[in-house]
């Protein structure tokens, strides 16, 4: 079996194992897995409305996945997507509320604000990594909490002590009448087009520019890159900034598309952490991220139907996702298994 | 309120908030000293909190006063089992340890909420009836000034946390076991050459971290929150991780950092009723532990160096 085929098989097997474990958990706790997964399926593809909502859910997952994948390709682990997403969400909503401008200026401005906020939040760990060799994992985790508490405080200030901002002006909204009519008035918005465009942008940066070449080189071996005359520090910072910008954009999807406001949060949205799963499953390639985001976005949205239709707590899907991450991360053992199976076949 | 009264008010509440952090951070020290990054501390605390509360609710009638202590043991066992998943992934399956830790966090919160909904048919558990008692430490609480500040109305669990920290320091720095533990985290190949079973040491270390984080979570749930829901632990595990780094991977350092973070946490909650402090917006107190950790890592507050082989799977025969 070729290496390429095994690489593709690892995510597929992981997903199957994840769903299998989910079925076993349901069975053991006294639910019918078939009823459960049927409810999940209907929650994803049941009718036009649910399909629209599913695609809406996939949108931020694509961007969060891109953020994690982009950093991974440069040899960095960005666990801070969650925090970058939160500050992006706030920045976009703030611009959406604070001023009223013609749509052609207002909407891009709000989106850019989100990207800039996310980029700033990515810049800090990037800078610390480059200048002080501080591991980015810990800094980004800490930045997540700083983002959470800071935006909550800012929301309080902006809304005069309230828990959420006003709804944004229509001129900053991504709302799409076309998509709404198409999908039986779901909240599907133009953001999906932005997300898909960003997939192309990431592919272009990585495959067609000198910057992308350098970023990947630094990811493979930063000593060799330095020896070849590349500025490793600059590339590390840039990788985190671009990754943060993707994450910030994911936040703007929630701010300008789905919710059209920002409210203070007791905990994380989870989209950033699921972005890690999306990127891993997509093997950190732009196209793979679309598949990963589609799978996890669908599972997440479809799960909402499970309590009503089958009486099963929706957390079962979170369990499935966690198990999938676990198996993708343990790819070594799956590869070993596949290798042995292939050898046995040859021996026969 | 006089300054002394403020201290009488703040210091006990800081220790109270610090206890779960101390235990979990010490757990982190064990795991990372052996070379296994444990981002999963948060998830291990979640499982500990859930099992602790569940045990307390189910068995309060049978065991009475002893329930909270037995609940700690149950929580310890449950978190130890979950930490084995992390150990298998990161030691035997050579998984990326950070990713495996993220999976542990997701799995723990999902699994406990799933079971909460299954058992209680709602989003959070009932409140527990059997709590840890507070009491005055004999003799010590009679010391002027220090007595009322440190030793009166104290939780046993806080004492447990301090004792564990000291025992951990002794084990890691004064016993052969501790020397082996540190050596597999610094240079596993050298340790292997000297006949130390690297995988076994790491398994033990991760299991210790699971056990301690489980106890930490159960203490948090049984002293501070009193029930279990999706936001019960909410970042305590990551704060313990921060305390471990701020304490430079040293048990006593981690304890000191945890005490300080406990102070910051309690100030952000009781602050509004204290003069001077109430003028500081609570957001600064909330983000203080995280900002300090970043500064410590950047070398502004003494250099914090991780164990050398931290996060690297050991593969025999690989240079």
Residues B103, A273: C-beta atoms closer than 8 Å: no
Residues B294, A319: C-beta atoms closer than 8 Å: no
The dihedrals phi and psi of B135, each to the nearest 5 degrees, come to: -155, 165
The answer to ipTM > 0.95 is no
Residues B105, A128: C-beta atoms closer than 8 Å: no
Q: Which has more confidence, B147 or B308? A: B308
What is the average pLDDT across B166-176?
96
Predicted confidence band of residue A334 (pLDDT cuts 50, 70, 90): confident
Q: Residue B142 has what pLDDT?
A: 74
Write down the mean pLDDT value for chain B: 88
Q: Residue A337 has what pLDDT?
A: 84
Q: Which has more confidence, B248 or A37? A: A37
Q: Residue B303 has what pLDDT?
A: 62
Q: Which residues of chain B lie closer than 8 angstroms to A143, CB-CB?
A: 290, 294
Partnered with residue A87 across adjacent β-strands are none
Predicted confidence band of residue B302 (pLDDT cuts 50, 70, 90): low
What is the average pLDDT across A219-242?
92
Q: Residue A335 has what pLDDT?
A: 84
Predicted confidence band of residue B288 (pLDDT cuts 50, 70, 90): confident
Q: Residue A90 has what pLDDT?
A: 96
Tokens of B293: 């950790």
What is the average pLDDT across B277-284?
80
Q: Residue B27 has what pLDDT?
A: 96
Q: Which residues contact A223 (CB under 8 A, 6 or more apart)?
A: none
Q: Which residues of chain B lie closer than 8 angstroms to A30, CB-CB?
A: 118
The tens digit of pLDDT for each residue in A295-327 reads 999 999 999 999 999 999 999 999 999 999 899
Residue B301 pLDDT exceeds 70 = no
C-alpha dist (Å) from residue A206 to A65, A101, A130, A200: 15, 35, 20, 10
Predicted confidence band of residue A84 (pLDDT cuts 50, 70, 90): very high
The tens digit of pLDDT for each residue in A4-16 reads 788 888 889 999 9
Predicted confidence band of residue A1 (pLDDT cuts 50, 70, 90): low
Residue B176 pLDDT exceeds 80 = yes
- Contact by Cβ (8 Å): A333, B93: yes
The tens digit of pLDDT for each residue in A126-168 reads 999 998 888 888 899 899 999 999 999 999 999 888 888 989 9
Give the closest-approach CA distance of A242 to chain B in angstroms: 21
The tens digit of pLDDT for each residue in A60-79 reads 999 999 999 999 999 899 99
Predicted confidence band of residue B144 (pLDDT cuts 50, 70, 90): confident
Tokens of B181: 């533990």
Partnered with residue B155 across adjacent β-strands are B134
Provide the percentage of residues in chain B whose pLDDT is more than 70. 97
Tokens of A115: 């990207």
Q: Which domains does chain A have, with CATH numbers?
A: 32-311 (1.10.3470)
Nearest by Cα to A324 from A272, A276, A273, A277: A277
Write down the mean pLDDT value for chain A: 92
The tens digit of pLDDT for each residue in A90-100 reads 999 999 999 88
Nearest by Cα to B202 from B185, B178, B179: B185
The dihedrals phi and psi of A263, each to the nearest 5 degrees, come to: -120, 155
Mark which residues 61-120 of B lie under 8 Å from A by CB: 85, 89, 92-96, 98-100, 102-107, 109-111, 113-115, 117-118
Interface test with A, best of B92, B107, B232, B307 (most A CBs within 10 A): B107
Predicted confidence band of residue B184 (pLDDT cuts 50, 70, 90): very high
Residue A3 pLDDT exceeds 80 = no
Q: Residue A135 has what pLDDT?
A: 81
Identify the closest residue of chain A to B296 by CA–CA distance: A134
Q: Is the Cβ of B291 closer than 8 Å to some Cβ of chain A?
A: yes
What is the average pLDDT across B42-62?
94
Of A306-310, A326-330, B150-154, the range with the lowest mean pLDDT is B150-154
Which sequence spans correspond to the domains of chain B? 18-252
Of A169-173, B25-29, B147-151, the range with the lowest mean pLDDT is B147-151
- Contact by Cβ (8 Å): A282, A272: no
d(CA B111, CA B114) in angstroms, rounded, equals 5
pTM for the whole structure: 0.90
What is the average pLDDT across A226-241?
93
DSSP E strands: which ranges in chain B? Answer: 134-135, 154-155
C-alpha dist (Å) from residue B157 to B18, B93, B129, B215, B308: 10, 36, 17, 10, 33
- Contact by Cβ (8 Å): A122, A78: yes
Predicted confidence band of residue B296 (pLDDT cuts 50, 70, 90): confident
Of A82-86, B68-72, B302-306, the range with the lowest mean pLDDT is B302-306
Q: Residue A296 has what pLDDT?
A: 94
d(CA B100, CA B90) in angstroms, rounded, equals 7
Give the closest-approach CA distance of B114 to chain A in angstroms: 5
Q: Which residues of chain B lie closer than 8 angstroms to A273, CB-CB?
A: 102, 105-106
């Amino acid at each position: 079996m070729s290496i390429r085929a095994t690489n593709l098989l690892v995510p597929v097997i992981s997903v199957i194992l994840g769903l299998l474990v989910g079925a076993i958990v349901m069975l053991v706790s006294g639910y019918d897995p078939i009823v459960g997964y049927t409810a999940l399926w209907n929650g994803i593809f049941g009718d036009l409305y649910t399909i629209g909502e599913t695609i809406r859910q996939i949108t931020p997952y694509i961007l969060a996945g891109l953020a994690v994948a982009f950093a991974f390709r440069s040899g960095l682990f960005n666990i801070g997507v969650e925090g970058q997403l939160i500050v992006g969400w706030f920045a976009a909503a703030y611009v959406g509320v604070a001023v009223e401008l013609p749509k052609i200026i207002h909407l891009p401005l709000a989106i850019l604000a989100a990207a800039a906020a996310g980029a700033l939040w990515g810049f800090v760990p990037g800078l610390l990594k480059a200048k002080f060799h501080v591991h980015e994992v810990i800094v980004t985790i800490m930045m997540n909490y700083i983002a959470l508490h800071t935006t909550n405080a800012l929301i309080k200030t902006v809304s005069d002590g309230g828990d959420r901002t006003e709804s944004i002006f229509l001129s900053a909204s991504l709302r799409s009448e076309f998509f709404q009519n198409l999908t039986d008035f779901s909240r599907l918005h133009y953001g999906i087009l932005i997300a898909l465009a960003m997939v192309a942008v990431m592919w272009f940066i990585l495959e067609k520019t000198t910057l992308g070449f350098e970023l990947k080189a630094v990811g493979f071996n930063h000593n060799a890159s330095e020896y070849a005359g590349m500025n490793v520090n600059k590339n590390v910072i840039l990788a985190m900034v671009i990754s943060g910008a993707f994450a910030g954009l994911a936040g703007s999807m929630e701010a300008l598309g789905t919710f059209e406001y920002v409210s203070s949060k007791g905990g994380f949205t989870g989209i950033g952490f699921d972005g890690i799963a999306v990127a891993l499953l997509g093997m950190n390639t732009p196209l793979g991220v679309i598949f990963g985001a589609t799978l996890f976005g669908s599972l997440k949205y479809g799960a909402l139907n499970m309590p009503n239709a089958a009486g099963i707590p929706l957390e079962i899907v979170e369990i499935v996702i966690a198990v999938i991450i676990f198996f993708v991360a343990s790819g070594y053992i799956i590869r070993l298994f596949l290798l042995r199976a292939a050898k046995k076949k040859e021996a026969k | 309120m006089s300054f002394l009264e403020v201290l009488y008010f703040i210091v006990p509440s800081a220790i109270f908030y610090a206890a779960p952090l101390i235990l979990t951070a010490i757990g982190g020290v064990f795991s990372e000293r052996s070379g296994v990054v444990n981002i999963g501390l948060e998830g291990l605390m979640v499982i500990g909190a859930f099992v602790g509360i569940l045990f307390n609710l189910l068995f309060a009638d049978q065991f009475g006063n002893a329930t909270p202590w037995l609940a700690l043991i149950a929580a310890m066992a449950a978190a130890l089992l979950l930490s084995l998943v992390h150990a298998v992934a990161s030691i035997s399956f050579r998984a990326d340890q950070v990713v495996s830790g993220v999976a542990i966090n997701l799995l723990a919160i999902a699994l406990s909420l799933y079971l909460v909904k299954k058992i209680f048919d709602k989003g959070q558990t009932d409140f527990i009836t059997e709590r840890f008692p507070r009491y005055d430490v004999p003799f010590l609480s009679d010391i002027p000034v220090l007595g009322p500040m440190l030793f009166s109305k104290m939780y046993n669990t806080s004492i447990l946390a301090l004792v564990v920290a000291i025992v951990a320091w002794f084990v890691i720095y004064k016993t052969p076991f501790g020397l082996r533990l540190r050596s597999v985290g610094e240079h596993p190949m050298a340790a292997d050459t000297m006949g130390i079973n690297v995988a076994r040491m790491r398994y033990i270390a991760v299991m210790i971290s699971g056990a301690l984080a489980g106890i930490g979570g159960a203490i948090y749930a049984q002293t501070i929150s009193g029930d279990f829901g999706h936001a019960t632990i909410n970042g305590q595990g990551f704060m313990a991780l921060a305390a471990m780094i701020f304490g430079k991977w040293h048990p006593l350092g981690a304890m000191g950092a945890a005490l300080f973070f406990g102070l910051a946490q309690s100030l952000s909650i009781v602050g509004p009723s204290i003069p001077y402090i109430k003028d500081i917006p609570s957001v600064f107190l909330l983000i203080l532990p995280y900002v300090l950790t970043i500064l410590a890592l950047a070398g502004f507050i003494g250099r914090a160096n991780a164990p050398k082989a931290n996060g690297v799977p050991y593969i025999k025969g690989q240079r």
